[in-house]
Amino acid sequence: QVQVVESGGGLVQPGGSLRLSCAVSGSIFTINDMGWYRQAPGNQRELAGIISGLGRINYASSVKGRFTISRDNAKNTVYLQMNNLKSEDTAVYYCYIRTPGNDYWGQGTQVTVSS
């Protein structure tokens, strides 16, 4: 009954921007962490950015200064603004939700950075 719906992925040229959105609905009453992980072909899944319910934020060093994570608690939505995209940002991006009882994952959205 819990739904994690991602949007905003796509194809963009190097130096361009995309904004990912992840909206959570269903039987969730408390959300702790909301974040984005990514996985490129042949690589392990890695954290891109995560934000706690109190606003604490962590980024991967490779994206710091280019990506901005934010959340709208009234909408149960987390965003990832990605600027100055590079080819190495190409990956499937997965929304991650942590609650006191369970973790939830989105199905993933493809981000491709290519000229």
**Chain segment 6-31, per-residue pLDDT in tens:** 999 999 999 999 999 999 999 888 99
Measured CA angle at 55 (ends 99, 26), to 5 deg:
30
Confidence of residue 1 (pLDDT cuts 50, 70, 90): confident
Two tokens, residue 21: 């959105």
Q: The tokens 């280019």 sit on which residue?
A: 66
CA distance 9 to 6: 8
3-state secondary structure of 101: coil
Average pLDDT over residues 48-64: 97
- How many whole angstroms from its chain centre is CA 18? 11
**Chain segment 84-103, per-residue pLDDT in tens:** 999 999 999 999 999 999 99
